[in-house]
Amino acid sequence: MVVERQRRARSMAGSHSHWRPPRSCDVYWSEFKHCKSLFNRFHEYYSYGRAPDCQQWKEDFYTCKEWEKNHSTQAKESLQESERKRVAEQRKFTPVWELRQTPPADWHLPLNQGKPQDS
């Protein structure tokens, strides 16, 4: 019983060493540099009417470096929370097209390649 508890304690203590950030630290830095690029800033301003906020990529880079250096639990939780927010942000957009539940009724008919298309 005591041996089993010690084994569990060792495996729990060592579980931090097996965890890795969802992305490598270099990816966070690359995303930050891309976000700050002139091309991306122009694109964001043109598309959404505002400049992009790149601060979270920079914070995640430094948090990732902190994790690599000290294996801090706070850094691990911060990176996990940041990635959860990113995923939630991506899921809140609705698709552009409605997905079909069934194929169209005339799906098996040949295409009208010889006839001019209505415009």
Residue 44 resides in a domain: yes
Task: Reply yes or no on whether the pLDDT at 115 is more than 70.
Answer: no
| Two tokens, residue 49 | 């009417």
The total domain count for the chain is: 1
Which position has the higher pLDDT, 4 or 49? 49
Task: Reply yes or no on whether the pLDDT at 20 is more than 80.
Answer: yes
In whole angstroms, give the CA distance from residue 21 to residue 88. Answer: 18
Q: What is the pTM of this model?
A: 0.64
Domain residues for the domain of 54 are 25-90
Choose the weakest-confidence range: 67-71, 101-105, 110-114: 110-114
| pLDDT score of 10 | 45
Residue 56 resides in a domain: yes
Percent of the chain surpassing pLDDT 90: 55
Query: Residue 41's closest CA among 52, 31, 30?
Result: 52
| Two tokens, residue 116 | 């001019």
Residue 114 resides in a domain: no
Task: Reply yes or no on whether the pLDDT at 102 is more than 80.
Answer: yes
Residue 108 resides in a domain: no
Residue range 65-86: mean pLDDT, rounded: 93
Tell me the average pLDDT of the chain: 84
